[in-house]
Structure 1
Amino acid sequence: MLPDTHYVLPNPMPDHLLLNGKKFFLDEIQHYSFRESIPIDGYEAKTLEFCKNWLQGVQEYAVQTSGSTGTPKLLELSRDRMEASAKRTLRIFDLQPEDRVLVCMNTEYIAGMMMLVRGLVGRLHMTIVEPIGNPLASVDPDAEFDFIAMVPLQLQAILEQTPEKVAKLNHMKAILLGGAAISKTLEEAVQTLEVPVYQSYGMTETISHIAVRRLNGSERTDHYTAPPEVTLGQDERGCLTISAEVTGGETLITNDLVELLNNTSFRWLGRADNTINSGGVKVQLEKVEAALGEALADLGITRRYFAAALPDETLGERLIAVLEGSPLTDVEETNLKGKLTESLSKYEIPKQFGYLPRLPETATGKIDRRGGLTLL
């Protein structure tokens, strides 16, 4: 269950933040007057520009959507809604003044931007690094944190490349994962962690997450839970609707198919625009991808992947699976299809496997299905 305690903003505030190992004092950020001895690059300039605007009280912020589920667009978000989102996160994860957070996602997009807002609203100590595969590789080895939000691949890289960091992870209050699906391999790996690990549900339009699900420990669950101030519903398609302070009290209609369990909980089934029609049978791509992940893990094959559809004269749409790396052998493909039959119907088994040396990604690190199809 999510705690429902009221978060009260404290008085003290850290007087600086660390950005790529450089110390910047908040008063110099507010006036954008930096010491000449500290050169800054483009990413640092944009990050500091956002912080400056926030400290000066700017009321509207332009944010680019990632484009992972449609054409990228520019949204105008209000300061009061961003504050409401930040305070909810601070409350849910019990983040207190002086707590230490690592900002390791792109601050030009909502996930990284809201980490900055949480730090400034909650008076947190912020260490900010440019987004890389293993964010702990670019910080002081002795640095400790209370909270990190990152994409699944970043946590996977930490566990695989720097297992000695697990002890530091286990001292944290929580890890929040978002921006992409959680692989079967990673979900199994986080079971060994003591730190609570959560998967988020949200989007730019909801100003980051509005619900989370616990991935490990005794409170592990297969559904998302939203706090009481968020009102959930469904439209006639079975897609989730959301009303909260971050939506201005208006009802936001999503393209996410869900099983609504009650007013605050749901199971995510997939996106309505990822439902394909192959030979008259509807197939949900996310279901295929989940089965593909389990099958690959069972066979000891570590690959990134996605499911998609190509036009087909006979079927209308032909289901395919695209894997990263060199082609599997005929025997491996046969074994993979055999594994898939254990959890999928014959209509949900990919008719074809494609391979790319590296799967393309969006600016926020999500696998770009549409971009991948153009490369086949």
Structure 2
Amino acid sequence: MKSLLQINGQLVHWAKLHQFKPSTPFEKSTIDFIQQWLSEVKEFNIHTSGSTGKPKKINISRLQMEISARLTIDALKINSGQTALVCLDTEYIAGKMMLVRAMINHMNIIAIAPSSNPLTNLDKVPDFAAVVPLQLEEMLNNEKTKMLLNKMSAIIVGGAPVSPVLERKLQQVSTPIYATYGMTETVSHVALKRLNGPERSATFTAFKEVKLALDDRGCLTIQSALTNHETLTTNDRVELISDHHFEWLGRADNIINSGGVKVQSEKVEKAVAQILDELGLSNRFFVTGIPDEKLGHKVYLVMESPDNLNNDKEKILSLLQAKLSRYEVPKDITLVPQFTETPTGKVNRRETIKKLL
């Protein structure tokens, strides 16, 4: 293998991997996984992130990972000899799959510990990267790294929905950027959605070999080589437009039954994102249901606010009334100094709500 391997700025020779002494958990998990892969390990125990439930370990075969990597490489037309930036935690599926894609496609690897702006201080522009929305936002906010984004070949973004505000900003970037749909159980993603440029789309397109259907809740089911040909039932409510195209509506467990009216949290969150953008606010937030004696649950907006935002609360609620039905408008805004996060940096809604209640 003649490709370049660089970890946290250190050049590592493939033939001397066993001599590399990791000094951080990221370096250890990266080197350990590369060595396992090169040793032809057939099965891997991988942790889920715990963003939608309790973290757990699942077994994923080498073949599933190879198929997943090939599907992505072919869909995005990633070439051998190009450079992959690995800037997600390699303890989890997203980081591991970037390593797999690079190794089976004979690509150079630049692996750096996850940070808010992984393009800072790079001496080489990568061709391909997988990032989370927060990283993409930070890269766009920095003029130098924004220029680097335009020199790449393809970027995939996952781990959390891309807000309408961020999607609007992505129109400044010429490099194709795709939202991914998937989870650990699908060995990273099974579908892609173009977020920018003339091919921008409101719908996800699943890989051709993936079979999609709906259960009686309107939630997506997936059957694929990536699920070991078993049917995986998700908690994601979607509009299935065709055999391979769907629009994501939100999670079934994020529906708030308020006075007999079903409110989808994600719809309210889209409106909140637009209003915060108009007001020049960048606070993290989510919408949830808080138990209420009269309504069963009432819609609440929970915002992360190290500084006091009390003066803006009434303005935000007033502006939301023009965008949402009276059932969907949050009854109040609760300010939290800091959200609880999962190990992969996602907002842990369950734990944050537990603290609130």
Matches within 5 A, 1:209-220: 209-220=189-200
Measure how far apart 1:228 and its partner are.
1.3
Which amino acid in structure 1 is aligned with residue 5 of structure 2?
L
1:14 and 1:354 map into 2 onto residues whose CA distance is: 54
1:258 and 1:306 map into 2 onto residues whose CA distance is: 20
Q: Match of 2:16?
A: 28
Tell whether 2:42 aligns with 1:59. Answer: yes
Tell whether 2:316 aligns with 1:328. Answer: no
Matches within 5 A, 1:217-236: 217-236=197-216
Q: 2:135 aligns with which of 144, 148, 154?
A: 154
Matches within 5 A, 1:218-297: 218-297=198-277
Q: Deviations over 1:37-79 (max 9, x none)?
A: x553332122101110000000010110011111111001000
Q: Match of 1:79?
A: 62
Checking the alignment, whether the CA contact within 8 Å between 1:361 and 1:367 is kept in structure 2 is yes
TM-score, with normalisation over the residues of structure 1? Answer: 0.91
Measure how far apart 1:266 and its partner are.
0.2
Which amino acid in structure 2 is aligned with residue 285 of structure 1?
S
Tell whether 2:107 aligns with 1:119. Answer: no
Q: Deviations over 1:330-360 (max 9, x none)?
A: 4x32221222122211111111111112222
Q: Tell me the secondary structure at the aligned position of residue 12 of structure 2.
A: strand
Q: Match of 2:185?
A: 205
Checking the alignment, whether the CA contact within 8 Å between 1:152 and 1:180 is kept in structure 2 is yes
Q: Match of 1:171?
A: 151
Checking the alignment, whether the CA contact within 8 Å between 2:3 and 2:106 is kept in structure 1 is no
Q: Match of 1:134?
A: 117
Which amino acid in structure 1 is aligned with residue 353 of structure 2?
L
Measure how far apart 1:179 and its partner are.
0.2
Q: Match of 2:333?
A: 353
1:103 and 1:323 map into 2 onto residues whose CA distance is: 30
Measure how far apart 1:324 and its partner are.
1.4
Percent pairwise identity: 44
Cα root mean square deviation, aligned: 1.4
Measure how far apart 1:15 and its partner are.
4.2
Measure how far apart 1:182 and its partner are.
1.3
Q: Tell me the secondary structure at the aligned position of residue 101 of structure 2.
A: helix
Measure how far apart 1:20 and its partner are.
0.5
Checking the alignment, whether the CA contact within 8 Å between 1:184 and 1:297 is kept in structure 2 is no
Tell whether 2:27 aligns with 1:48. Answer: no
Checking the alignment, whether the CA contact within 8 Å between 1:14 and 1:124 is kept in structure 2 is no
Q: Deviations over 1:195-235 (max 9, x none)?
A: 11111100000000111111111111111011211111111
Q: Deviations over 1:232-255 (max 9, x none)?
A: 111111111111111111211111
Tell whether 2:306 aligns with 1:318. Answer: no
Measure how far apart 1:281 and its partner are.
1.3
Which amino acid in structure 1 is aligned with residue 137 of structure 2?
Q
Checking the alignment, whether the CA contact within 8 Å between 2:3 and 2:107 is kept in structure 1 is no
Q: Structure 1: state its 5+ residue gaps.
A: 1-12
Checking the alignment, whether the CA contact within 8 Å between 2:22 and 2:28 is kept in structure 1 is no
1:217 and 1:248 map into 2 onto residues whose CA distance is: 34
2:180 and 2:93 map into 1 onto residues whose CA distance is: 13
2:127 and 2:298 map into 1 onto residues whose CA distance is: 46
Which amino acid in structure 2 is aligned with residue 267 of structure 1?
E
Q: Tell me the secondary structure at the aligned position of residue 373 of structure 1.
A: helix
Q: Match of 2:2?
A: 14
Aligned residue-pair number = 355
TM-score, with normalisation over the residues of structure 2? Answer: 0.96
Tell whether 2:78 aligns with 1:95. Answer: yes
Q: Match of 2:125?
A: 144
Q: Match of 1:184?
A: 164
Measure how far apart 1:23 and its partner are.
1.5
Moved more, 221-230 or 180-189: 180-189
Q: Structure 2: state its 5+ residue gaps.
A: none
Measure how far apart 1:282 and its partner are.
1.0
Q: Tell me the secondary structure at the aligned position of residue 299 of structure 2.
A: strand
Tell whether 2:339 aligns with 1:374. Answer: no
1:168 and 1:214 map into 2 onto residues whose CA distance is: 19
2:27 and 2:57 map into 1 onto residues whose CA distance is: 21
Q: Tell me the secondary structure at the aligned position of residue 109 of structure 2.
A: strand
Q: Tell me the secondary structure at the aligned position of residue 347 of structure 1.
A: coil
Measure how far apart 1:168 and its partner are.
1.9
